[in-house]
Chain A
Amino acid sequence: MQEKTKRQILIITIAVAVLGLLCYFASKIGSQNLTESSELAATIIFQVRLPRIVAATVLGGALALSGYLLQIFFGNPIAGPYVLGISSGAKLVVALVMVFFLNQGISISSFGMVLAAFVGSLISMTVVLLLSAKVKNMSMLVVCGVMIGYICSAITDFVVTFANDSNIVNLHNWSLGSFSGMNWPNVWIGAGIVGLCLVLSFIFSKPIGAYQLGENYARNMGVNITLLRVGLIGLSSLLSATVTAFAGPISFVGIAVPHIMRSVLKTDRPLVMVPACFVGGAIITLVCDTIARSAFAPTEVSISSVTAVFLAPVVIYLMVKRRGDR
């Protein structure tokens, strides 16, 4: 095995260990100071904190992986589900579906939420793809994506404001992005979908690697381009839809984490990057969520506020650096 590969495996192993430690410490931190072991303390840890920690880990990983797949698809490191408006599309459709059903007095299942989010993601994705045929410049495409995001968020706000139900309060928190109120059944559903996508992405890593040389060379290597493109779109949309359905839109994790992992591992090989992005996204999202719920406890800040503070500078750096390259 090559020296470089050994180093990459070592880094990913260390990252997994760090993630484990962070999970442990995150379970100790919270608005309630649980020093003595009591039944209440155990309940808080197992029913409130742990589901939230696992959710942040799994869904954070999903976001970063979704961003990585989108970056491969567009052949550009400045892509992610949030900046391209895909998360916001998912948010809008989920809000519409929820308000519609709540008005009828029906509550919808978690699967229903994921499905609604997936439909929303695909609608936004379609618009982005149509635009990308017209706008060849990636920075312009990102601007278009941000605009799509604004339009979707604005409509979501209208829907949320004019809906007359007490449940809307939850909807409002969710529409800003938050892991609060996570329960075990939702965590398992989310983990199941994300796990499946992770395995599929890993199996796809060979054709994805070929696609990095461009469509023509990939085709010459025997890759079924149409299948791969559909796979990339489907997986990245399903991943970000699952996150949005359970935690609302979360900013910048999808765009910044792949970049950070690329710099640390010094490679863009999908076989390494798929697991690395997942672990990296998990770590960063878990840290950000822990800050979101504990920094100003008992008041919570939205997770997107925290991720934006830490990760938006990374995105700015990326854009500036790319200009410098030309």
Chain B
Amino acid sequence: MGSMETRGLSVGYEKIVVDDFTVDIKEGQILALIGPNGAGKSTVLKTITGQIKKIGGKIYIGDEEESRISPQEMARRLSMVTTERIHPNIMTCRELVATGRYPYTGILGILSEHDNKKVDEAIELVNGLSIADMDFSKISDGQRQRIMLARAICQEPDFLILDEPTSFLDLQYKIDILSIIKRLARENKVAVIMSIHELEFVPAIADAVVAIEGTKVRAYGKPEDIITGDNIESLYHMKKGMGKVAASGLWDYAKSLRTLLD
């Protein structure tokens, strides 16, 4: 278990997409990353998961700098679900979840009793038992998202990085996925960093929110302090006064969702 901290992190490809990104997260906490389309939420998450190299700044896992930890060690500490669709050939959901055991198996990757138990637990946690033996390419988007989450869970990470885990799902699936994530944080003490577009879910799930827009962190703090009319207005470039309207309705709905999620 551990904490993660970023200090003055700047991310991007050739050009800087987000600059001076400084946040910290402790075990069992959920940090939500919000901002308009194209603000660089995915780029931040890809940098934290090591898919792209950071341009500057530091990422600390506990007291150690991320770049000093070996890839094998990182695989046991951090897992992810991206927005990328994967296309494995003839693979059942259980087999796909089992790939999450990769950092723990021997040279040929054969699963032990213990590994199989972890796979089953992860599938059960996402309520995926009924689809476990189905072909991964033949299930719905919502079910796919659950299976990918189970895969990330059975990697037994300290940190779970999720890029828009609720996008394109119906309301019930959104609630399901988010309550699984919430349980994981509370019960397994996993620290979660997730990007999310649905602001109404943020108060129900996140301990902290960071809003990015136009290469900068615009706001960072508790949901009730960050999801305000003024912030929504400037983040999403709305006309004067519209943010307030949006925020008042949003908070009503958010309170109902909080009840549904617990």
A residues contacting B by CB (< 8 A) are 75, 77, 203, 205-206, 209-210, 212-214, 216-217, 219-224, 262, 266-269, 271
Residue of B nearest to A225 (CB): B71
What are 10 A-B pairs at a CB distance below 8 A?
A203-B107, A214-B86, A216-B82, A220-B50, A221-B155, A222-B74, A222-B102, A268-B91, A271-B108, A271-B110
Pairwise interchain contact A205-B109, C-beta atoms closer than 8 A = yes
In the complex, besides A217-B86, A219-B51, 12 extra interface pairs with C-beta distance below 8 angstroms are A205-B108, A212-B89, A212-B91, A219-B71, A220-B50, A220-B75, A221-B103, A221-B155, A222-B76, A224-B71, A266-B90, A268-B90
**How far is it, in angstroms, between the C-alpha of A85 and the C-alpha of B144 when the chains are bound?**
37
Q: Which residues of B contact A216 (CB under 8 A)?
A: 49, 51, 82, 84
**Does B259 reach chain A (CB closer than 8 Å)?**
no
Q: A213-B99, A222-B72 are in contact. Are A262 and B89 (CB under 8 A)?
A: yes
Instruction: Contacts A220-B79, A222-B72, A222-B74 given; indicate if A206 touches B86 (C-beta within 8 A).
Output: no
With A209-B99, A220-B80, A222-B71 as contacts: A271 and B109 at CB distance below 8 Å: yes
Residues of B within 8 A of A268 (CB): 88-91
Which chain A positions have C-beta within 8 A of B105? 206
Report chain A residues within 8 Å CB of B90: 262, 266-268
Tell me, yes or no, whether B95 is within 8 Å of chain A by CB: yes
Chain A, interface SS category: loop
Write the chain A residue with the least CB distance to B82.
A216
Residues of B within 8 A of A (CB-CB), count:
32
Tell whether, in the assembled complex, residue A206 and residue B102 are in contact, meaning their CB atoms are under 8 Å apart: yes
Report the minimum CB–CB distance from A62 to chain B (whole Å).
Answer: 21
B87 at the interface (CB under 8 A from A): yes
Expressed in whole angstroms, the minimum distance between the Cβ of A229 and any Cβ of chain B is 15
A298 to chain B, nearest CB (A): 44
Decide: A75 near B75, CB < 8 A? Known: A220-B80, A271-B108, A271-B109: no
Q: Is the pair B78, A209 in contact by a Cβ cutoff of 8 Å?
A: no
Contact: A210 with B102, CB < 8 Å? yes
What's the A-B contact tally at a CB cutoff of 8 Å? 72
Min distance, Cβ A80 to any Cβ of chain B, angstroms: 15
Do residues A222 and B103 form an inter-chain contact, with CB atoms below 8 A? yes
Q: Given the complex, which residues of A lie within 8 Å of B89, measured CB to CB? A: 77, 212, 262, 268
Give A237 to B75 CA distance when docked, in angstroms.
Answer: 30
A-B residue pairs, 9 tightest by C-beta = A222-B75, A206-B109, A268-B89, A221-B102, A222-B72, A222-B71, A213-B86, A268-B90, A221-B75
CB distance from A59 to the nearest CB of B (A): 26
A213 to B: closest C-beta gap in Å: 5
The answer on a CB contact under 8 Å between A221 and B99 is yes
* CB nearest neighbor in B for A325: B137
Interface string of B62-102 (1 = CB under 8 A from A): 00000000111111101110101011111100011001001
Q: How far is the CB of A277 from chain B (nearest CB, A)?
A: 13
Complex contact B107–A206 (CB within 8 A):
yes
Tell me the nearest residue of chain B to A202, going by C-beta: B108
Query: A219 to B102, Cβ gap below 8 A?
Result: no
The winner among A77, A209, A223 for most chain B CB atoms within 10 A is: A209
Q: Which of B70, B76, B102, B105 neighbours the largest number of chain A CB atoms within 10 Å of its CB?
A: B102
State the CA gap A262–B90 with chains docked (Å): 8
> Chain A nearest CB: distance from B63 CB in Å?
21
Q: Which residues of A are found within 8 Å of B102, using beta-carbon distances?
A: 206, 210, 221-223
Give CA–CA (A203, B109) in the complex, Å: 10
Tell me if A210 and B108 are in contact (CB < 8 A). no
Chain B residues with CB below 8 A from A213, complex form = 86, 88, 96, 99
- Complex Cα gap A255–B78 (Å): 37
Digitize B91-128: 1 where CB-to-A-CB distance is under 8 Å, 0 elsewhere.
10001100100110101111000000000000000000
Q: Digit string of B36-80 for contact with A (CB within 8 Å is 1, else 0)?
A: 000000000000011100000000000000000011111110111
**Whole-angstrom distance between the alpha carbons of A213 and B78 in the complex?**
17
Bound complex: CA A30 to CA B74 (Å): 60
Which chain A residue shows the least CB distance to B76? A222
Q: Min CB distance, A71 to chain B, in Å?
A: 9
Establish whether residues B78 and A220, one from each chain, have CB atoms under 8 Å apart when the complex forms: yes
Chain B 188-207 near chain A by CB (<8 Å), digits 1 or 0: 00000000000000000000
Q: Who on chain A is nearest to B88 by CB? A: A212
